[in-house]
């Protein structure tokens, strides 16, 4: 394998490992350091940004000690942290391991940038490979998986990364070379600061790829949204049928655009416009536009990447550089130092974008500008790039890419396939077991994504209907998982999803009975920074119907959700239209509060009153009951419980409802 292809392979594998660590670090900042929004947003943001600011010292370290020793040590620490995170018990140890792995990854990135002047192929293959792997795992990270298979795959990934890195820097003997250090490719020898632009947008590109363009969970959510009907405006009701092939199209378009040499007019105009169009569609908060958003963003991101991979000038090696290389050392390349700075500064931009996006849900401003602004930076780099992009693929690399593109269609078939109804429409039932649960995006009190524990917490009550709050379907800040699809698959229950804060965060209803109709209604914010909605679905219980409403009320700072409670109660009564009704979820109010009284004033009865005190929060020391179930007269509740579990920061509530 040519030396430059070894560097490409090492960079691609390193990106996959770094993304694995980031998918643990990001939710750890929120759930462990942030403690479910108890930590002030300013302190959380400063802590998160501090690690990236600290990495700004990496280029100086690389310049003084050389990229090889720094890169070797950083790669070793990154690999060790990646494996340790799989074994970590969660909590503070997970947080600090993730921080150490992140810092090592940033230092490794700076060292790699100093030796790789043309990073686009490695970055593109790394982002695409991470997306394919995430899709094959159903969007559940490999780092969260234990067992023999999970550990074997993790070890293989880390060993492949370390082996490729060692080969790329010349640790392994290569008898086909005569002596000393392999000669750098002509483009690297002659171009001086070539690669600075590509390294600078690596961080913003990672943000756009993880949040939108190459996010498998977003594909899953978009696919299910595509089957809404006139009765389900904006709802996701998965039907029978094959999964979407769009993931293959998205990755294929991304790689094809990133690894080819387009005409100048195409790169300067079409690719930036395409990327911006995808980001704007995503920021528009329209669920039906998600599919187009990620396809356009994938194509535009790949094309803009290619535009940054040009040769910016001819700078021959100096006599000092040639003498330094003759001794087997790395030349004191000014371009290498610039690339190291660009790589770290690009990751600082990544961190700023993540913090700005998340802080909106504490501070109450519109965060749709974050993906648009990030895409704008990438588009600007492409527009102002060299007039002629350099060729990217040569020789067998072109054939390898063709094979990868062909294989994507097969890989896409492994993306999560939603479960479907298991109850017959003609099966008449006299009672329904219902569970309402705030799942905190799938993260337990220890800060780990443990879907098996979450499944046990729900399935232990043998539910027929499940109402879920804080459902995440692809937030990069939470690791990019489709938590709803993963949980529904384990429970073997189909779902209906309704967006609240944005198209991939909201509430859901899972049911063993067929769903016949549904509607979602956004709730007025009333000063609350996070959006809320009311989701109504109609279940067929074998000749009779049951109206179910799921919601998660968001109180304004320092107040109760009184206004939203009144809106939800009124919506539920209208939606039920005389049919038996059950309403539940995380209502962020306690019995006796004014918001709680809004439901009883509407004629609804507390289905959990017989089991009080039934405290549900916090899960490890429950002191308050803020999760509730209300019913209309005629439904008879019994067997109310709040099973103990630390799979979320809330306890689930379960109750059996006898139909009239």
- Check if the beta carbon of residue 629 is closer than 8 Å to that of residue 584: yes
- Check if the beta carbon of residue 596 is closer than 8 Å to that of residue 587: yes
Q: What is the mean pLDDT of the chain?
A: 84
Q: What is the pLDDT of residue 186?
A: 45
Distance, in Å, from the CA atom of 485 to the CA atom of 462, rounded to the nearest integer, reads 19
Average pLDDT over residues 176-199: 52
Where are the chain's structural domains? 3-169+184-412, 431-658
Distance, in Å, from the CA atom of 564 to the CA atom of 573, rounded to the nearest integer, reads 14
Residue 564: band (very low, low, confident or very high) from pLDDT cuts 50, 70, 90: very high
Q: What is the pLDDT of residue 398?
A: 52
Greatest Cα pair distance, the chain, in angstroms, is 92
Total residue count of the chain as it appears in this document = 660
Distance, in Å, from the CA atom of 628 to the CA atom of 651, rounded to the nearest integer, reads 11
DSSP state, 117?
A: S
> In Å, what is the CA distance from 372 to each residue of 52, 203, 379, 530?
22, 15, 10, 20
Query: Cα-flanking dihedrals φ and ψ of residue 647, to 5°?
Result: -75, -10
- Check if the beta carbon of residue 454 is closer than 8 Å to that of residue 487: yes
CATH code assigned to 431-658:
3.60.10.10
- Give the predicted TM-score (pTM) of the model: 0.88
Task: Choose from 111-115, 238-242, 628-632 the range with maximum mean pLDDT.
Answer: 628-632
Residue that wins the pLDDT comparison between 426 and 497: 497
Instruction: State the sign of the Cα–Cα–Cα–Cα dihedral 212, 213, 217, 219.
Output: positive
Give the β-pairing of 515-523 and 532-540: antiparallel
Q: What is the pLDDT of residue 629?
A: 97
Average pLDDT over residues 300-327: 61
- Check if the beta carbon of residue 568 is closer than 8 Å to that of residue 523: yes
- Tens digits of residue pLDDT in 487-532: 998 998 988 999 998 888 999 999 999 888 889 999 998 988 888 9
Q: What is the pLDDT of residue 641?
A: 96
- Tens digits of residue pLDDT in 60-115: 999 999 999 999 999 999 999 999 999 988 899 999 999 999 999 999 999 999 99
Residue reference for tokens 């958003």 = 293
Kindly report the CA angle at 129 between 312 and 227, in degrees rounded to 5?
115
CATH code assigned to 3-169+184-412:
1.20.1250
Range with lowest mean pLDDT among 313-322, 334-343, 417-426, 488-497: 313-322
Average pLDDT over residues 401-417: 53
Q: What is the pLDDT of residue 652?
A: 97
Distance, in Å, from the CA atom of 634 to the CA atom of 323, rounded to the nearest integer, reads 91
Does residue 413 register a pLDDT over 60?
Answer: no
> In Å, what is the CA distance from 563 to each residue of 154, 405, 436, 575, 599?
49, 52, 22, 18, 11
Range with lowest mean pLDDT among 143-147, 185-189, 250-254: 185-189
Q: What is the pLDDT of residue 455?
A: 96
- Two tokens at 481? 């998982």
Residue 203: band (very low, low, confident or very high) from pLDDT cuts 50, 70, 90: very high
Q: What is the pLDDT of residue 210?
A: 93
Residue that wins the pLDDT comparison between 181 and 372: 372
Does residue 176 register a pLDDT over 60?
Answer: no
The yes-or-no answer to whether 3-169+184-412 and 431-658 have a common fold is no
| Among the listed residues 335, 331, 334, 346, the one whose alpha carbon sits nearest the alpha carbon of residue 56 | 346
């Amino acid at each position: 394998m040519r030396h430059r292809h070894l560097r490409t392979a090492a960079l691609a594998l390193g990106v996959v490992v770094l993304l694995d660590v980031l998918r643990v670090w990001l939710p750890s900042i929120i759930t462990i350091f942030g403690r479910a929004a108890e930590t002030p947003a300013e302190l959380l943001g400063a802590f998160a940004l501090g690690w990236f600011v600290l990495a700004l010292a990496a280029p100086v370290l690389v310049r003084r000690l050389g990229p090889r020793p720094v890169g070797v040590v950083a790669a070793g620490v990154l690999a060790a942290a990646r494996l340790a995170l799989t074994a970590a018990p969660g909590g503070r140890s997970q947080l600090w391991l993730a921080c150490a792995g992140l810092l090592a990854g940033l230092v490794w990135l700076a060292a790699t940038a100093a030796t790789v002047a043309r990073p686009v192929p490695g970055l593109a293959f790394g982002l695409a490979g991470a997306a394919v792997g995430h899709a094959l795992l159903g969007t559940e990270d490999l780092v969260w998986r234990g067992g023999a298979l999970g550990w074997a795959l993790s070890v293989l990934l880390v060993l492949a990364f370390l082996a490729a890195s060692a080969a790329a820097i010349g640790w392994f003997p290569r008898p086909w070379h005569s002596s000393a250090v392999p000669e750098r490719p002509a483009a690297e020898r002659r171009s001086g600061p070539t690669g600075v632009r590509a390294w600078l947008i690596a961080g913003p590109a990672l943000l756009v790829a993880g949040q939108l363009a190459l996010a498998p969970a977003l594909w899953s959510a978009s696919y299910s949204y595509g089957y809404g009907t006139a009765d389900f405006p904006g709802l996701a009701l998965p039907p029978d049928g094959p999964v979407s092939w769009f993931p293959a199209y998205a990755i294929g378009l991304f790689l094809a655009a990133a690894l080819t040499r387009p005409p100048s007019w195409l790169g300067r105009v079409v690719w930036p416009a395409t990327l911006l169009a995808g980001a704007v569609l995503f920021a528009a908060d329209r669920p039906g536009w998600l599919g187009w958003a990620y396809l356009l963003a994938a194509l535009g991101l790949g094309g803009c990447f290619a535009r940054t991979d040009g040769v910016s000038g001819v700078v021959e090696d100096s006599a000092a550089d040639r003498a330094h290389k003759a001794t087997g050392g790395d030349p004191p390349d000014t371009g290498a130092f610039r690339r190291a700075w660009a790589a770290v500064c690009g990751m600082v931009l990544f961190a700023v974008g993540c913090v700005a996006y998340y802080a909106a849900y504490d501070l109450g401003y519109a965060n749709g500008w974050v993906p648009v602004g990030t895409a704008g930076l990438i588009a600007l780099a492409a527009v102002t790039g060299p007039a002629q992009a350099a060729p990217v693929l040569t020789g067998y690399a072109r054939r390898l890419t063709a094979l990868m593109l062909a294989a994507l269609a097969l890989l896409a078939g492994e993306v999560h396939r939603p479960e479907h109804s298991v109850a017959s429409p003609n099966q008449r039932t006299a009672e329904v077991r219902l569970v309402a649960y705030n799942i905190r995006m799938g993260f337990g009190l220890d800060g780990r994504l443990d879907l098996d524990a979450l499944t046990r917490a729900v399935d232990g009550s043998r539910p027929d209907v499940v109402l879920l709050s804080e459902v995440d379907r692809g937030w990069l800040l939470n690791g990019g998982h489709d938590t709803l699809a993963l949980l529904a698959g384990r429970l073997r229950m189909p779902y209906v999803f309704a967006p609240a804060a944005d198209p991939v965060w909201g509430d859901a209803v899972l049911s063993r009975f067929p769903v016949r109709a549904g509607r979602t209604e956004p709730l007025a914010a009333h000063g609350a920074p996070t959006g809320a909605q009311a989701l109504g679905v109609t279940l067929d219980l074998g000749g009779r119907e049951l109206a179910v409403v799921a919601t998660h009320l968001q109180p304004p700072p320092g107040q109760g959700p009184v206004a939203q409670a009144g809106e939800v109660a009124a919506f539920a009564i209208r939606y039920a239209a005389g049919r038996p009704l059950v309403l539940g979820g995380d209502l962020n109010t306690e019995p006796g509060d004014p918001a709680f009284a809004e439901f009883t004033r509407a004629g609804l009865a507390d289905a959990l009153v017989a089991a009080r005190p039934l405290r549900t929060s916090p899960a490890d020391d429950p002191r308050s009951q803020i999760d509730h179930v209300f019913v209309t007269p005629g439904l008879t509740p019994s067997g109310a419980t709040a099973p103990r579990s630390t799979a979320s920061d809330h306890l689930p509530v379960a109750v059996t409802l006898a139909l009239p």
